[in-house]
Structure 1
Amino acid sequence: MIRFNGLIITVIFALSLGLSGCSALSTSVKKKDLAVETKMSATIVLDPVTSDKRTVYLQLRNTSDKQSLDYQTPVAAAIKAKGYTIVEDPEKAHFWIQANILQVGKSDLRTVNGKTDQGYGAAIQGAKIGSMFGDGDGQLAATVVGGLIGIITDAMVDDIVYVMVTDLQISEKAKQGVDVTESNNATLKQGDSGEQTQQSVETVDRKKYQTRITSTANQVNLTFEEAEQQLLEGLIQSMSGIL
């Protein structure tokens, strides 16, 4: 009887691994390779300039909780490789590139996609398989074991995606004789119920363009350390590619 029960459990394990964990196993196969994407919310097209105007001032920030993301040096290197000069004085630069890594978030797509009951579903499937074996106490034990195996199998697989959001502003000097008017509106809160509105209009010598860069890295059981470099490379390519 003991050997027979052992055989039942072995069969349950195999079937449960294949069926109750089918979603988990499918994710493991489909997402085994790291997939990275970088997209801009809007395209920025700059006017061509002569070689003496190929100067850039960089102001790069990172206000996310991932302070290991240092992109100042590689962005500067990528821009220099395209024939531009990085300058320290903003007044001497034809272009300003100002950016801030706003946030880096982590999500499990198996949960985000509405599958919040994933673990329970695997348990139910495993229990169903277990209930097919034996009868009486043996069937009950097999059902419990099948359910537990389903939970364990499913818990081993996470469909992880890291999303990095970067705000970007590019400024370029306006041509001689061209005045650019800049208008700013702001509403300031005053206590719990009041607010104050401020408006300002000024003439500046730069045209400004804004966009947002969203970078994603997706792989099964992905860690941030594994995604970090790929996310940075996508961001660097997008920022330097504007020039």
Structure 2
Amino acid sequence: MKKIVMLIAAASLTGCAATQVAISKRNLDVQTKMSATIFLEPVAESQRTIFVQVRNTSDKPDFDIAEDVKQSLSAKGYRLVTDPAKAHYILQANILQVGRSDQSAAEKTLNGGYGAITGFATGAIAAATISPSYRDALGAGLAIAAISTLADAAVKDVYYSAITDIQIQERIQGSGKANKTSLNVLKQGTSGGTAVTYAAKTNMLQYQTRILSSANKVNLEFPEAAPALRAGLVRSISGMF
């Protein structure tokens, strides 16, 4: 009996993981990361014109940042134009994914790798191996595991993420030109394909990056996460200008 009590005490400490998550993740934590930095040449105020195009190909069409991005850029002194040919900068964004994810799975878009772990069986196995009375210890272990499972079910460490691809074009000042070469590989079945290349001269420099915005909190729901994700994404995009 004494060892069973000790087992219960030890398992209770292990079961405190749910409580630790509830305490450490009680506040909303929002982070925004960029896969690569983009440096744009500073220009005179008269050249601060920009054409903005924001698309959303995720399954959350209501996650709209277009107007917020435009307002943020306007507040920085940029003049929005509807004709890309008259813009010094062309900003294009496509929201690829919005929704619940794992922290590592979300960061895989920038770094790679993810995994998960559960603890139900561990409690039962530990009870069976530590106690000299297999039946009593196993019952205690299963009871503890059941309680731990209920606690884990009530306390969730939840992540939501938004992944956005960004392309910025910057007009070359003066009469300079840049050579642009493109290669497209079109697959045919599983063993064939066609390669298409073209080259052209352009007066626009082109940059690409990817932005990951994530929100984390215990038992987080999307309606609470969405405004914070949107704000972080808008701040990151407009911060490049």
Q: Secondary structure in 2 aligned to 1:146?
A: helix
Alpha-carbon distance change, 142 to 212 in structure 1, aligned in 2, over 3 angstroms: closer
Q: 1:85 aligns with which of 68, 79, 85?
A: 79
Q: Distance in 2 between matches of 1:110 and 1:153?
A: 23
Does 1:103 pair with 2:104?
no
Name the SS for the 2:179 alignment partner. Answer: strand
Q: Percent identity?
A: 41
Residue deviations 1:93-124, cap 9 Å, x none?
A: 11100001111242356999754223334566
- Aligned equivalents of 1:149, 1:182: Cα separation in 2: 63
Give unpaired runs (5+ residues) of structure 1. Answer: 1-10
Contact 1:35–1:219 (CA under 8 A) maintained in structure 2: yes
Could you say which residue in structure 2 is the equivalent of 1:208?
A: 206
The 3-state SS of whatever aligns with 1:88 is coil
| Alignment TM-score, normalising by the size of structure 1 | 0.81
Question: Residue 108 of structure 2 corresponds to which residue in structure 1?
Answer: none
Single out whichever of 84-93 and 142-151 deviates more from structure 2: 142-151
Cα distance 1:155–1:86, how it changes in 2: closer, same or farther (>3 A)? same
Partner of 1:166: 164
Specify the code of the residue in structure 2 equivalent to 1:202.
A
Give distance in 2, aligned partners of 1:110 and 1:234: 19
RMSD: 2.9
SS of equivalent to 1:48: coil
Rounded Cα–Cα distance in structure 1 between residues aligned with 2:197 and 2:104: 46
Match of 1:51 among 45, 52, 76: 45
Q: Is 1:24 the counterpart of 2:18 in the alignment?
A: yes
SS at match of 1:47: coil
Deviation at 1:138, TM superposition (A): 7.8
1:93 and 1:226 mapped to 2: Cα distance?
36
Q: Of the two, which has the highest radius of gyration? A: 1
Q: How does 1:106-117 map to 2 (within 5 A)?
A: 106-108=100-102, 114-117=115-118
Show structure 1 runs of 4+ deviating over 4 A: 14-18, 108-115, 122-125, 135-144
* 1:55 shift after superposition: 0.8
What is the rounded CA distance, in whole Å, between the counterparts of 1:22 and 1:138 in structure 2? 23
Distance in 1 between the 2:120 and 2:139 partners? 20
In structure 1, distance between residues paired with 2:104 and 2:181: 45
Whether 1:68 and 2:62 are equivalent positions in the alignment is yes
- Whole-angstrom distance in 1 between the partners of 2:125 and 2:230: 41
Residues 54-94 of structure 1, C-alpha deviation per residue, up to 9 Å, x if partnerless?
11101101111121210011111000000111111111111
Equivalent of 1:186 in 174, 184, 187: 184
Q: Which residue of 2 aligns with 1:224?
A: 222
Alignment partner, residue 6 of structure 1 = none
List alignment gaps of at least 5 residues for structure 2.
106-112
* Cα separation, partners in 2 of 1:140 and 1:211, compared to 1, 3 Å: closer
Deviates more, 1:112-121 or 1:189-198: 112-121
